[in-house]
Structure 1
Amino acid sequence: MIRLIILIFIIFFQACSPTSGKEIKNFLIPLVQGNSSFPQNSFTSNPEERPIDLDQNPNILEENPMIIEENAVIPEERPLVFGRNPLNLEWATLLEIPSNNTIKTPNIAIDGNGFIYVASDSNANLIGDKLKIGTRDVILKKYDSHQNELWMKRIGSRNTHLTITGLAADINGNAYVTGYTNGPLEKALISDQDMFVIKFNTDGTIAWKKQAAPQRAKGVYNTYKVFTEGITVDIFGNSYIVGTSNGPFGDNSDGNLGGGYIIKFDTNGNQIWVKQISIVGASIYPKNVAVDEDLRQIYVAGTSKNANFRTNKTFNYSNGAGGDDLFILRFDENGNQEFFTQTNLYRDSITPNSLTVDSFGNVLVGGSSIIDLEFGTYERTYLRGVLIKYDLNGDERWIRQLGPREDAQFIQRSTTITGIATDENGNIFTTGSTNGNIINEHSEPLGNQDIFLTKYNYLGQIEWIRQIGRLGETLYPGKIGIDFNRNLYTTGLTDDNGKEYQVIGGDLDLFLIKFR
């Protein structure tokens, strides 16, 4: 039997109260093997080794979670042999938020040179940072792969609340942050709430910042609001942002005053086009956007109610049924819309939290659903994580779900995927949260709510699972990123009060973890 190295760590922290000073204390404990005096149940896995045929039982890992041997060759027809854990903790850092202050679940992006960007919004004053500017400001940090913080930037406007919803980085090391504002940022408000995008140069200086919203009639105040959801950037530095608006943002030739939208800015900040995603009588909520670099196509995923994207009309439900459908649309670089795929289960469907395109042009969606999709029964279950792969024609290749289906104690369990990333070989990495146990659904979680990381190969076979948590602690997942050396980075928030390690922080603190 192979003895796994048990991953246990104490998060590196950076004291951020005004009286703490700027000294950085590193409490990162090296990986330890076997028994340890440090807190147990921080990571969970199963060290047992035996062959498993996933073709005969694709969900056996929920009962017998194993780890695929690193660098193993996996022919499709051969049973998978699980062994040594390929996922090792390299470092972790914690940004503490002073008490009675808040910070939003962070976004993460990795540029073409392997630098890591973390963005959020907060009402807190941070050490090494000037006093807050508005009621809530943009916080952007840049790290190298060795945990060194290269710079931190804070952007705000007096008496203005900025909300961050997306972060992207291009191959040249520029970072792009998007969100929405209730006050002036680049200029005076256009509507009651505008969207914004800010481009940062590699040294942290602002290249440009832009606002956009439905135009108000001359002399008439409008209450239109624009919300952003996601952003992606192509190799030319064009940025694409999706969201919703209750006003005519984009082409409203169908007479619809609101709905979803996608907007494009070039690398210099010029608005190239904005397209409204709407069908009269339907509710449409774009959530994510991703780009296929080879074909210069942009994908938008979201949920809709009563929208038939195949016909651009509403569904005619005679029985009043109809849930929230998952849809994916495809746009060319000129903003022309094309149907890609849509679920229509006539019941609650899939909530997409993340979208990406792999190096082969396949489209992957990660999120959650309360429907049993993997086995096609469409019966209701607990909220479970869902990962779907489509080919470039919009045909579904496979669906995978994880998380408890039921609980012997009738505790409401919930599992969701919040971020996905792919490597050059088509492997898929996910992160998310659960208040159950995704490795053994009949066991308890490690904490109040844990985070997890998984790796699937291109066939949808799971190669490893890691669930991370600690007794009494609630972890909130962010996104996941992968660099050119296949290092994984994930972000999130923790409510750990740190008393066990004599760390004093806010109600929720931000963490960044690197695995290799």
Structure 2
Amino acid sequence: GGLDNNTNSGDKDIFLVKYNSSGTRQWTQQLGTSSEDVGYGVAVNSNGEKIFVTGSTSASLDSQTYSGNSDIFLVKYDDDGDKQWTKQLGTTSQDVAYGLTVDSNGNIFVTGFTKGNAWPITGYSDNVSNSGNSDVFLVKYYDNSTLHWTELLGTSSSDKAEEGRSVTVDSHSSSSFLYLTGLTEGALQGSNLGNYDVFLAKYTIGGSKSWSSTVRQMGTSSGEQGYGVTVDSSGYIYVAGNTGGELDNNTNSGLQDV
């Protein structure tokens, strides 16, 4: 059924709920198609009046073009819960968005993975060729829903997967940078230590990789995944996730540790 008297469109729907600081629910919005739709990430702009939701859809969401398999979506709401616009983006292969962030100018950055070749933008020199299996994608939208640029990050092995899980913008620096984390089965930098490794990549707001060696990668033979990233006012970057091994000589307490 529908959440808070909303109508379910079929299978799984996306929802967005707003609470006030006392924990009182203000409104609930539900959005979907007759197929599976999942919301994975939410972000607000600097003054809290615009809310953005991203995830995946397996059909045409709000009459957008469906490309096949699963597509990514980005939906903008105002602080009253009124939908402003919906954008859908995909290839004929699987595409899933997990994380997003909004900078001080209202630009929206979304990350996830694609198993196809991504979305070239006229007049912009994008890196959009898939390197093998699934690649990380990072896209930038303007507040008016225009797609500005697309970047892919991956390794060349056809059986190796890369996924972006979280992205953040360094709002403390005079020259804003983006930091992106997730997982890789390949060797984005150096050698893969086994199974999945965590990666950390740094991009400019213009979509160019900032570090000369492209990314930072770490792991054990048991597998690691990065799920969250943030930056403090001194420019230090913090990455959180899980490990099945003993990362940096720490002791593993069981199957998977934080």
TM-score for both structures, normalised by structure 1: 0.44
Deviations 1:1-26 (A, max 9, x none): xxxxxxxxxxxxxxxxxxxxxxxxxx
Are 2:36 and 1:147 aligned?
A: no
Which residue does the alignment assign to 1:299? 179
Distance 1:352 1:255, change over 3 A: closer
Are 2:161 and 1:283 aligned?
A: yes
Contact 2:128–2:150 at 8 Å: present in 1 too? no
Letter in 2 for 1:138: I
1:384 Cα offset (Å):
5.1
Distance 1:155 1:382, change over 3 A: same
Give, in whole Å, the separation in 2 of the partners of 1:301 and 1:322: 18
Are 2:1 and 1:132 aligned?
A: no
Which residue does the alignment assign to 2:208? 336
**What residue ranges of structure 1 are gaps of 5+ in the alignment?**
1-123, 215-221, 387-516
1:259 Cα offset (Å):
1.4
1:148 Cα offset (Å):
2.5
Give, in whole Å, the separation in 2 of the partners of 1:285 and 1:234: 22
Letter in 2 for 1:297: F
Which residue does the alignment assign to 1:359? 233
Contact 2:3–2:28 at 8 Å: present in 1 too? no
Superposition pairs of residues 47-446 of structure 1, within 5 angstroms: 124-127=1-4, 129-157=5-33, 159-173=34-48, 174-186=50-62, 187-214=64-91, 222=92, 224-250=93-119, 251-253=127-129, 256=132, 258-281=134-157, 282-293=160-171, 294=173, 295-309=175-189, 315=191, 322-338=194-210, 339-345=214-220, 347-373=221-247, 376=249, 381-383=253-255, 385-386=257-258
Number of positions where the alignment pairs a residue of Structure 1 with one of Structure 2: 242
Distance 1:236 1:176, change over 3 A: same
Q: Which has the higher contact order (CA 8 A, sep 6+)?
A: 1
1:274 Cα offset (Å):
1.2
Instruction: Please give the secondary structure, in 2, of the residue aligned with 1:145.
Output: coil
Which residue does the alignment assign to 2:124? none
Give, in whole Å, the separation in 1 of the partners of 2:130 and 2:38: 30
Give, in whole Å, the separation in 1 of the partners of 2:244 and 2:187: 21
Instruction: Please give the secondary structure, in 2, of the residue aligned with 1:353.
Output: strand
Give, in whole Å, the separation in 2 of the partners of 1:192 and 1:340: 29
Deviations 1:157-211 (A, max 9, x none): 3x13211111111122211100111111141312322100101011111111100
Identical-residue share of aligned pairs (%): 24
1:306 Cα offset (Å):
2.6
Give, in whole Å, the separation in 1 of the partners of 2:26 and 2:219: 47
Contact 2:154–2:188 at 8 Å: present in 1 too? no
Q: What RMSD over aligned residues (CA atoms) do the two structures have, in Å?
A: 2.3
Give, in whole Å, the separation in 2 of the partners of 1:147 and 1:255: 45
Which residue does the alignment assign to 2:123? none
Give, in whole Å, the separation in 2 of the partners of 1:278 and 1:197: 23
Contact 2:140–2:149 at 8 Å: present in 1 too? yes
Distance 1:138 1:253, change over 3 A: closer
Letter in 2 for 1:288: S
1:275 Cα offset (Å):
0.8
Give, in whole Å, the separation in 2 of the partners of 1:147 and 1:253: 45
Contact 1:368–1:383 at 8 Å: present in 2 too? no
Contact 1:284–1:307 at 8 Å: present in 2 too? no
Instruction: Please give the secondary structure, in 1, of the residue aligned with 2:3.
Output: coil
Contact 2:20–2:26 at 8 Å: present in 1 too? yes
Query: Which of the two has higher C-alpha Rg?
Result: 1
Give, in whole Å, the separation in 2 of the partners of 1:322 and 1:334: 33
Distance 1:344 1:208, change over 3 A: same
Superposition pairs of residues 497-516 of structure 1, within 5 angstroms: none
Distance 1:287 1:324, change over 3 A: same
Give, in whole Å, the separation in 1 of the partners of 2:14 and 2:186: 36
Give, in whole Å, the separation in 1 of the partners of 2:233 and 2:257: 23
1:343 Cα offset (Å):
1.1
Give, in whole Å, the separation in 2 of the partners of 1:263 and 1:370: 30
**What residue ranges of structure 2 are gaps of 5+ in the alignment?**
120-126
